[in-house]
Amino acid sequence: MNQYIGKICPYCKTAFTEEDEIVVCSDCEMPHHKDCWIANKGCTTFGCQGTIQGISFEEDMSVSSAPKYEVREDPSDTSGPLICVQCGSPLEKGQAFCGKCGAPAGKRSVRAGAKELQDNAALFWKKLLKKAAAFLEKYATDTPIDSEMEDYIGTGKEYYTKAFSDMREKSDYKSWNWPAFLIAPFWMMYRKMYIPGAILTAVYLIMLMIRGFIPMLLLIAIAVAAGFFANHFYLYDLSKRIEKGKACPPEQKFQYTQKYGDVDTMIPSIVSVAFVLICALIIF
């Protein structure tokens, strides 16, 4: 400490006294008044990116006459509070800038290091997967996969009954469906899921109108999700149709099955042509 008394602070150009709180730069060891460091938002040495170092007010003469240093930040320590490396002020979690010196919070943290970021990312994905599982569970069904369901499936019943059986056997929600991946809105309408198909068609058109990287990324994400989970939602939709069909009088059961079973080629064909024309207008 004594070696700095009488020397000049490079920021305020006044001499250090015993009453002053002196700090030094971790890189060039230039001494400053603490208030001067805060006012300058860092070291005054041109180009220096050092951090603030507090001085211990005791000397170890057996080793050297140079003062001891107490480093305020240790990047490997993940247990202490968040501290600004520029001025040493405490920071709240989530704070973007230091309230005293204005330094970016991204440069400051003991706990906002790589370990905390990894833990936060892992926690985020864990919560996201848990919410996704809860959402999919809402659309689970125990409707038997039998001849009655085959009547409602109609075209492609061999594929879908096998896919549904595999999902039940594995207690899994995933079952890859190529048509749903490639043309999800039109596949939904083809399978007589008109409302979700119409909603997804509108989403596709909005994303195409917005353009850009993020909308394209969202479209790809939707397509992948549809490829994995379309069969799960189709099974749920079939179960609802079957439940309503069982409530029909016997003389109306056949007409109901004809109306709500098998596939529809006309509506998805009309919608797909309109979709292509609208896309052409958007692009050109």
Q: What is the pLDDT of residues 80-91, one digit of tens each?
A: 456 666 666 677
Tens of pLDDT along 198-219? 999 999 999 989 988 999 999 9
What does the pLDDT look like over 19-30, one tens digit per residue? Answer: 888 888 888 888
Q: Is the pLDDT of residue 241 over 50?
A: yes
* pLDDT of 77 above 60: no
Name which of 84-98, 202-216, 218-232, 263-277 the model is least confident about.
Answer: 84-98
To the nearest whole number, what is the mean pLDDT of the chain?
A: 82
Q: Where are the domains of the chain?
A: 1-103, 133-283
The larger pLDDT score, comparing residue 118 to residue 239, is at 239
pLDDT digits (tens, 9 = 90+) for 122-168: 888 888 888 888 999 999 999 999 999 999 999 999 999 999 999 99
Query: Over 90: is that where the pLDDT of 274 sits?
Result: yes
- Over 80: is that where the pLDDT of 13 sits? yes
Q: Give the residue with greater pLDDT, 189 vs 131.
A: 189
Task: Assign 36 a pLDDT band (cuts: 50, 70, 90).
Answer: confident
Q: DSSP states of the chain as a string?
A: -GGGTTPBPTTT--B--TTS-EEEETTT--EEEHHHHHHHTS-SSTT----EEEEEEEE-TTT-SSEEEEES--TT--SS--B-TTT--B--TT-SB-TTT--BGGG--SSSSHHHHHHHHHHHHHHHHHHHHHHHHHT------SHHHHHHH-TTHHHHHHHHHHHHHHT-S----HHHHHHHHHHHHHTT-HHHHHHHHHHHHHHHHH-SHHHHHHHHHHHHHHHHHHHHHHHHHHHHHHHHHHTS-HHHHHHHHHHHSS--SHHHHHHHHHHHHHHHHHH-
**pLDDT-wise least confident of 3-12, 41-50, 65-74, 231-240:** 65-74
